[in-house]
Structure 1
């Protein structure tokens, strides 16, 4: 097919179901994908002259389905659902030119430093969800590590873990990002919330078979001792003794930068999306600032964290995207033809 021709949306896609959880009929979609490839003369992605990656950050039920743990509603109240309608349509329309889809998956267990059970106050109570734990809170003993979790979860004695917790919030304070947030239990490994949004999973599966391009799932966030908003690295890499507790995802970073263009979408714009892009930009600027021009941010496929009457990170998300644009990345719409915003020979 001509890469300059956007494809129609397959009849199986139902935009009204994007905000729901359901089972993808894999065998049916596999047959349809093979037929779709023949009908539209789609080549295998390995033969693409211009390699384009769609990096889809945390398009999971926990963030994207109303009523789930951390639904990203944005200011419209239905942000992630609206974003994912556009994201799925973007994939289907550009099926012939997207070489690979790389979804990241936030992956957690109950006892992690950003979940309530990790912390207690003097009365032995856990912090409510959305509590912001500051450096002063830990220094003054307002919040302390829960002694019951020290040995069994992270194999530290209590004093060492308490010292680590102080080190952790101090590192966050020095970097100047958001303070430690106690998030509701979310993206729990093995749970329904952890799964990819059904409509998005279906689009990835369809792309996988129509283009013979394996969907590249990237797992992040399972380390109990650090937050991991960005797929490229956790928030803290060393403990108070400068011993490594985690490492950068260098292999994935290097793979991303080999593509001719990287389109980025997902949730939430103010957090995991912004910080993944920020880490990507940091590496680009240290390597070759001109590489920023190969990054395209799908503005209409991402929403910020907004909890009415509690927090609103809309301005932080917009400010981050503007900074990325000033560094040479492109702000684009999912409805813009790829050949227009990439400006490369896609045939």
Structure 2
């Protein structure tokens, strides 16, 4: 298999990566077939070495300036810069990418991390970006809003579940329950994949006859789902299952000969997905870590100047992944310089 870079199609405009627009599917489909013929690109089903590209939550809500949870990184424009490099990487290495697997953070208004889910004695909802600590719940400062109960998929004891849920988060030493702005709402523009990335995925799909494998996550109103591989809390206060790990996705990802990972945010959904993936690898075979490549210049941490900066915590996660055997690489470096890549592809 040739590792030589391909040319970037003429339609790609790096200046538009931070904008929202309609992909011209008919034009891109026609161009993709001609481009594949020009570069003698085979169908993905013929790949001897199967390469998966996992794109974690590359959606407008996280990646477009002005949207609800834009991941700025330390540069102030992190997600946009990441996606420029990501699109260029997809186009230049389309011939070796068997599948693209974008995950989609998928929410509705009445979910446990949105303001309307909680209420105090004054009828107020918690402010976006505030944290609900266990002590707040125990003191009765916040309780589950009774008006949301008829909309839940299963009946719960709201007081018991509130205590149980926040205790579970505290016990696992993760972040406290964060109340996020309404974001990634199903059917809304913030939920959609970034236009330039969607275009690249569609182009890949047509050029290689490879269906883009969209993976929805985060739509259970009773639990958060930072990790792509499993929700944060899996049971109710009685120990009954309310959610489960996505074993089917785990198996699919670890079945690739090589797995590349990018997306947003490095400090949250990417980091927690990698933590869960590392746990799976430890339980199965530590050698599996060697086929995972982390595209470090296609992901950024959550940074709010003067308030929070999760960059160092994100880097600690990537360091632990590297210690297990995963590779930290940059998309802009020649792929043949990546450690172990030649042996993996040839």
TM-score bucket of the superposed structures, by smaller chain:
over 0.9
Counterpart position of 2:161: 164
Q: CA deviation at 1:340?
A: 3.4
Q: Distance in 2 between matches of 1:292 and 1:132?
A: 34
CA 1:308–1:121 in 2, change beyond 3 Å: closer, same or farther?
farther
Q: CA deviation at 1:102?
A: 0.2
Q: CA deviation at 1:336?
A: 2.5
Counterpart position of 2:240: 243
Q: CA deviation at 1:337?
A: 3.1
The answer to whether 1:199 aligns with 2:196 is: yes
Q: CA deviation at 1:154?
A: 4.4
Q: Distance in 2 between matches of 1:335 and 1:296?
A: 14
The answer to whether 1:7 aligns with 2:18 is: no
**Equivalent residues of 2:258, 2:344 under 8 A apart:** no
The answer to whether 1:227 aligns with 2:224 is: yes
Q: Distance in 2 between matches of 1:66 and 1:43?
A: 37
Counterpart position of 1:24: 23
Q: Distance in 1 between matches of 2:164 and 2:18?
A: 40
Q: CA deviation at 1:140?
A: 1.1
Q: Which moved more, 1:129-138 or 1:181-190?
A: 129-138
Counterpart position of 1:261: 258
SS in 1 for 2:84: helix
Counterpart position of 2:179: 182
**Equivalent residues of 1:339, 1:345 under 8 A apart:** no
Q: Distance in 2 between matches of 1:338 and 1:284?
A: 24
Q: CA deviation at 1:312?
A: 1.8
Counterpart position of 1:218: 215
Stretches of structure 1 that go unaligned for 5 or more consecutive residues are none
**Equivalent residues of 2:257, 2:344 under 8 A apart:** no
Q: CA deviation at 1:4?
A: 1.9
Q: Which runs of 4+ in 1 moved over 4 A?
A: none
Q: CA deviation at 1:309?
A: 3.0
**Equivalent residues of 1:339, 1:346 under 8 A apart:** no
Q: Which moved more, 1:210-219 or 1:141-150?
A: 141-150
SS in 2 for 1:138: helix
Q: CA deviation at 1:209?
A: 0.7
Q: How many residues align?
A: 344
Stretches of structure 2 that go unaligned for 5 or more consecutive residues are none
Output the TM-score relative to the length of structure 2. Answer: 0.97
SS in 2 for 1:105: strand
Q: Distance in 1 between matches of 2:279 and 2:209?
A: 32
Output the TM-score relative to the length of structure 1. Answer: 0.97
